[in-house]
């Protein structure tokens, strides 16, 4: 309401100025007419009524055009601005709107005639900034959703490979499995089916993802035992039969908050990659230690390693594999570094804060 009153007063002020200018111009022209008449005498006499009529018509046309231009030019600017917004461009269409920095003051920051609609332009700037922010947020959320969906889809391959391995073993004619072994395989398949169901639920949830951060659910647990179980689980993977795994921890236990699903998916990704991308006989180790209020996890293999181009591709490729696992670690406020192994192969160094 206050803005409307201010704008109304400015309109009244501008209108009054134009009216005063109209009459002032009329008076000046009349004085000039009388002055010219007195100099040139009656031979150049023009009827005063005819002069005033002609002067009034000409002045009216000129002042109405000037007043319309003064009032209408900012409205044309606003229409162009709205047109830009409709096409997805949220910047002001021209740069002539505001005064130079040296001439701005608290009451006036717009050039005439734009200052007449000062409140309108201020609200348009707010609207443009908000729409721009919403569009950037929408694009960012859409990108995160795509990465999240791609990550879940990628992680579905891990339990599927377990199920495939167990199925091959169960149907292999060269082996005569005992009932206990068959029961163990069936339990393994059941566990992986449950894991796949959870991943599919995550996939469905990601389609409704509206917030920026990943949906992390922290719970205080013994992370040392969790890491040990993760290594054992991968070591028992049918594809890992010809690979050697080891686990070392400086502490027997460490209670800290973490999301076992997200962190587990990241670690499984690294460990499975060590199997997929290295020849049989490769040794994969995980070492855990604490320092500077952080938990440090090192996953290293003595396989074939990666060259500089492969390091760059792994670090920057979006939507699958290691970049997705990295996002899970960063959701814990952690960091991931991919380095060459001490002898050969690849080393993943993960740091997680003990208290998030």
Q: Is the pLDDT of residue 236 over 80?
A: yes
Q: What's the DSSP call for residue 41?
A: -
What local confidence, expressed as pLDDT, does residue 137 receive? 83
Question: What b/e sequence results for 191-201 when a residue is b if at least 16 CB atoms lie within 10 Å of its CB, and e otherwise?
Answer: ebeebbeebee
Query: Is residue 147 within 8 Å of residue 327, measured between CB atoms?
Result: yes
**Average of pLDDT values for 65-93?**
84
Q: What's the DSSP call for residue 351?
A: E
Q: What is the pTM of this model?
A: 0.49
Q: Is the pLDDT of residue 99 over 70?
A: no
**Which DSSP string corresponds to 276-333?**
HTS-TT-EEEEEEEEETTEEEEEEEE-S----HHHHHHHHH--SSSHHHHHHHHHHTT
**Average of pLDDT values for 259-271?**
88
219-353: CATH architecture: 2-Layer Sandwich (3.30)
349: how many CB neighbours lie within 10 A of its CB?
Answer: 15
Query: Is residue 23 within 8 Å of residue 29, measured between CB atoms?
Result: no
What local confidence, expressed as pLDDT, does residue 201 receive? 60
**Average of pLDDT values for 241-262?**
92
Q: CA–CA distance from 56 to each of 26, 29, 336 (Å)?
A: 8, 10, 81
Cα separation, 134 vs 130, whole angstroms: 6
pLDDT digits 0-9 by tens, 148-192: 677 667 777 777 887 888 788 878 777 778 888 888 878 778 777
Q: Is the pLDDT of residue 310 over 90?
A: no
pLDDT band of 319, cuts 50, 70, 90: very low
Lowest model confidence (mean pLDDT) among 61-70, 71-80, 120-129, 194-203: 194-203
Nearest to 201 by CA among 191, 193, 189: 193
φ, ψ of residue 37 to 5 degrees: the values are -65, -40
What local confidence, expressed as pLDDT, does residue 107 receive? 61
231: how many CB neighbours lie within 10 A of its CB?
Answer: 19
φ, ψ of residue 270 to 5 degrees: the values are -65, -45
Q: Is the pLDDT of residue 315 over 60?
A: no
Query: Is residue 302 within 8 Å of residue 282, measured between CB atoms?
Result: yes
pLDDT digits 0-9 by tens, 213-232: 567 889 999 999 999 999 99
- Domain limits, CATH 3.30.565.10, in the chain: 219-353
pLDDT digits 0-9 by tens, 22-61: 889 988 888 888 777 777 665 455 677 787 888 888 988 9
Cα separation, 269 vs 274, whole angstroms: 9
First CA to last CA across the chain, in angstroms?
47
**Average of pLDDT values for 310-325?**
58
CA angle 61, 63, 67 (to 5 degrees): 120
């Amino acid at each position: 309401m206050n803005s409307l009153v201010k704008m109304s007063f400015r309109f009244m002020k501008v209108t009054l100025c134009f009216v005063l200018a109209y009459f002032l111009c009329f008076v000046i022209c009349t004085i000039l007419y009388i002055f010219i008449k007195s100099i040139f005498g009656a031979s150049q006499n023009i009827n005063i009524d005819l002069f005033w009529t002609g002067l009034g018509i000409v002045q009216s046309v000129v002042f109405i055009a000037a007043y319309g231009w003064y009032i209408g030019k900012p409205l044309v600017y606003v229409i162009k601005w709205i047109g830009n917004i409709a096409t997805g461009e949220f910047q002001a269409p021209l740069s002539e709107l505001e005064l130079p920095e040296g001439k701005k003051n608290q009451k006036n920051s717009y050039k005439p005639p734009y200052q007449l609609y000062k409140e309108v332009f201020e609200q348009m700037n707010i609207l443009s900034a908000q729409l721009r922010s919403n569009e950037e947020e929408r694009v960012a959320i859409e990108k995160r959703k795509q990465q999240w969906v791609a990550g879940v889809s990628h992680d579905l391959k891990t339990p599927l490979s377990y199920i495939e391995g167990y199925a091959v073993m169960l149907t292999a004619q060269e082996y005569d499995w005992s009932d206990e072994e068959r029961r163990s395989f069936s339990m393994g398949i059941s566990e992986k089916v449950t894991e796949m169901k959870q991943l599919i639920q995550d996939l469905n949830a990601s389609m409704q993802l509206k917030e920026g951060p990943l949906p992390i659910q922290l719970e205080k647990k013994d992370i040392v035992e969790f890491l040990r179980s993760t290594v054992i689980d991968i070591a028992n993977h049918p594809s890992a039969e010809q690979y050697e795994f080891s686990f070392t921890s400086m502490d027997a236990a460490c209670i800290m908050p973490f999301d076992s699903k997200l962190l587990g998916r990241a670690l499984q990704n690294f460990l499975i990659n060590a199997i997929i991308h290295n020849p049989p006989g490769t040794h994969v180790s995980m070492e855990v230690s604490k320092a500077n209020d952080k938990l440090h996890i090192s996953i290293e293999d003595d396989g074939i390693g990666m060259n500089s181009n492969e390091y760059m591709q792994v670090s920057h490729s979006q939507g699958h594999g290691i970049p997705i696992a990295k996002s899970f670690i960063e959701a814990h406020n952690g960091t991931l570094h991919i380095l060459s192994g001490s002898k050969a192969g690849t080393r993943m160094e993960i740091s997680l804060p003990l208290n998030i």
